[in-house]
A and B are shown apart, each in its own frame.
Chain A
Amino acid sequence: MNKDVKVIKVKNLCKKFGDFTANNNLSFEVSKGEIFGFLGANGAGKTTAIKILCGLSYPTSGEISVAGFDVYKQREQLKRNIGYMSQKFSLYEDLTVFENIRFYGGIYGLSKEVIHRKADDLLKKLDLQHARNKRISSLPLGWKQKLAFSVAIFHDPEIVFLDEPTGGVDPVTRRQFWDLIYEASREGITIFVTTHYMDEAEYCDRVSIMVDGKIEALDTPAKLKEDFNAVDMDQVFLALARTATNVE
């Protein structure tokens, strides 16, 4: 992690849908290579914020720059430098593993040779060589998730946004998934991740906790536990989330 280089800078981000304020004056910065946990109960406004940072949604106000690009004016350059894995599973079920990799590599402008070389490396790393020509629909969920993550960082983005990437996956596979996240972080990719699992929050370098559209806490897991006098992140989260009114 390089604390001097800030790859995400958010100042006073607000997003309103009519009368409802989904994001209320968020301000934070994320350093290069950091694993940044973005926590909050359902309806707290996590997905709204992540969509704004990815250029999928317009903010109502605020100054936001991602990978050095402004979310208002430089969305296309911004998109070139980020990866995104959404809550909804995003690979094409009717295409094979390799066809998905080739497609996403291709639309980011990678050359055919690079795509083939990187695809081979990736399948080896995931131990999925045997599944290269299998349709995604035939794979177990855990494999799909790992593959989706690998595809999201296939074009070597500066930052990858993960919106509840491990939903519905067993603990062993979640652990393997986090190994992939650590590896990407070591390679200098910044990880911005939302999750419901508090054990995963412990894996993050820093964690922010959103309640009712506001960031109520932001620090390292160790510091948060100390501040809230809690034994684990679960207790920290519950202490904060109880104050919420927007819970689904």
Chain B
Amino acid sequence: MRVLKYLLQKEFLQIFRNKSMLPIIFVMPILQLCVLSFAATYDMKNTNLYIVDKDLSSHSRELISKFNGSPFFTVKEIGFSVEEAEKEIYKDKIDAILVFNNDFGKSVDLKKGASVQVLINAINASSAGLYNAYISSVIQDYNRKVSASVREVGTGTPVHFVQSSYLHQFNPEMKYIPYMLPGLLVLLVTVIGLFLSAMNVVREKEIGTIEQINVTPIRKSQFLLAKLIPFLVIGFFELGIGLSIAAFLFKIPFLGSVWLIYLVAFVYLIAILGFGLLISTQTNTQQQAMFIAWFFMVIFLLMSGLFTPVESMPEWGQTLNILNPIAYFIKVIRMILLKGSGFFDIVNEIAILTVFAVSVVSIAVNMHRKVA
């Protein structure tokens, strides 16, 4: 134990003497959370529309005014030529084109069933889906009004509509920040934990002090534990900053227990730091360690469900995710914060992360060589 104390004392001194360390610890989380929370948005604002109105009837104008009045759309231009409109799409100035043919107004009046053509820039399939849904809902809305007034005028009988309505449980307003922010918190502690630990042991190899350590009777487990504990503390601290920003700045819901988040973070960080140390013990330069850490980071992250739903991945991808610690933590932190899930709801994930943590740390200790 006393040996561990001296090792830890040295690690902490070194960490806080590193000039780039304080910005990493304090500035990075704030910047990352604030910038990404606003930037990584699924909300659709400012969809640029080009409207080709060959009809110029009161009906087409009414529908156009509905788009004009919506906060989600900006009607950039109204013209008469589809070709002209398409040119704007090529220039990426326009996200969608609405085309009214010259019989639109007449068809509405005659109750023949009028149609509007919608052309969408679908380079990004998921935003194209969203444009489609938003545009359709505006048209539906108009549709109901028109058919109601038309029928009332025609038959004089009241018209009943069956409308389905949704209640989005746990995130009723479908806000993206409560959804993204917990995931970004995971990203934050993972980046810091993985990189700091991956660069650490290998740094001692590069400067040559590892040899001096290896001729001492220090146990491998003591040495690696002393490397792991400081980063665990830093990770906890980062998580604390991140959760405070989430709570006080973004006011995202905190339905579950913060202690439970910390419990999960504890096993999760040990797994991530153990993995970082494993990389560090198996590489010879910081550059190698950096690239390997980056490689795994990108794979784990893109498959984790932070930006894209895990459920839409192919089955083999979902199966691979069994081995992805980031996926578990993102899932669990969202459950705890947004749904208020308790310990027994996430006990499986905790168990799996614990298995990861124990195995990866034992592998790291085992693979670390005091003797060549």
Residues of A within 8 A of B (CB): 51, 54-58, 75-77, 79-80, 82-84, 86, 88-95, 99, 102-104, 106-109
Taking the closest CB of chain B, its distance from the CB of A188, in whole angstroms, is: 20
Contact check, A58 vs B216: say whether CB atoms are below 8 A apart.
no
Contact check, B214 vs A56: say whether CB atoms are below 8 A apart.
yes
Contact check, A55 vs B215: say whether CB atoms are below 8 A apart.
yes
Contact check, B207 vs A93: say whether CB atoms are below 8 A apart.
yes
Q: What chain B residues lie within 8 Å of A55 (beta carbons)?
A: 215, 371
Q: Indicate which residue in B2, B13, B211 contacts A56 across the interface (CB closer than 8 Å).
A: B211
Closest to B215 in A: A84
Q: Indicate which residue in B5, B209, B215, B372 contacts A58 across the interface (CB closer than 8 Å).
A: B372
Contact check, A58 vs B371: say whether CB atoms are below 8 A apart.
yes
Taking the closest CB of chain A, its distance from the CB of B308, in whole angstroms, is: 42
Q: Indicate which residue in A57, A93, A107 contacts B216 across the interface (CB closer than 8 Å).
A: A107
> Does B58 reach chain A (CB closer than 8 Å)?
no
Q: What chain A residues lie within 8 Å of B3 (beta carbons)?
A: 106-107, 109
Taking the closest CB of chain A, its distance from the CB of B237, in whole angstroms, is: 21
In the bound assembly, the distance between CA atoms of A216 and B57 in angstroms comes to 107
Q: Indicate which residue in A51, A83, A92 contacts B10 across the interface (CB closer than 8 Å).
A: A92
> Does B17 reach chain A (CB closer than 8 Å)?
yes
In the bound assembly, the distance between CA atoms of A214 and B95 in angstroms comes to 78
> Does B34 reach chain A (CB closer than 8 Å)?
no
> Does B252 reach chain A (CB closer than 8 Å)?
no
Closest to A75 in B: B371
Interface size class of chain B, counting residues whose CB lies under 8 Å from the partner chain: 20 to 34
Contact check, B212 vs A95: say whether CB atoms are below 8 A apart.
no
Closest to A82 in B: B215
Shortest Cβ-Cβ A-B pairs, 8 listed: A106-B6, A88-B208, A90-B212, A84-B215, A79-B217, A80-B217, A103-B10, A57-B372
In the bound assembly, the distance between CA atoms of A86 and B211 in angstroms comes to 8
Q: Can you show 10 pairs from A to B with CB atoms below 8 A apart?
A: A51-B372, A56-B215, A90-B209, A95-B10, A95-B14, A103-B6, A104-B212, A106-B6, A106-B9, A107-B7
Using an 8 Å CB-CB cutoff, how does the interface string of B13-25 with A read, 1 for contact, 0 for none?
A: 1100110000000
Taking CB atoms and an 8 Å cut-off, the chain B residues in 164-195 that contact chain A are none
Q: What chain A residues lie within 8 Å of B10 (beta carbons)?
A: 92, 95, 99, 103
Taking the closest CB of chain A, its distance from the CB of B79, in whole angstroms, is: 67
Known contacts A99-B13, A109-B3: A84-B372 contact under CB 8 Å: no
Contact check, B13 vs A95: say whether CB atoms are below 8 A apart.
yes
In the bound assembly, the distance between CA atoms of A108 and B6 in angstroms comes to 10
Contact check, A107 vs B371: say whether CB atoms are below 8 A apart.
no
Closest to A51 in B: B372
Closest to A106 in B: B6
Q: What chain B residues lie within 8 Å of A99 (beta carbons)?
A: 10, 13
> Does B218 reach chain A (CB closer than 8 Å)?
yes
In the bound assembly, the distance between CA atoms of A75 and B218 in angstroms comes to 11
Q: What chain A residues lie within 8 Å of B7 (beta carbons)?
A: 103, 106-107
In the bound assembly, the distance between CA atoms of A166 and B366 in angstroms comes to 35
Taking the closest CB of chain B, its distance from the CB of A53, in whole angstroms, is: 10
In the bound assembly, the distance between CA atoms of A169 and B280 in angstroms comes to 33
Taking the closest CB of chain B, its distance from the CB of A97, in whole angstroms, is: 13
Taking the closest CB of chain B, its distance from the CB of A194, in whole angstroms, is: 15
Q: What chain A residues lie within 8 Å of B370 (beta carbons)?
A: 56
Q: What chain A residues lie within 8 Å of B14 (beta carbons)?
A: 92, 94-95
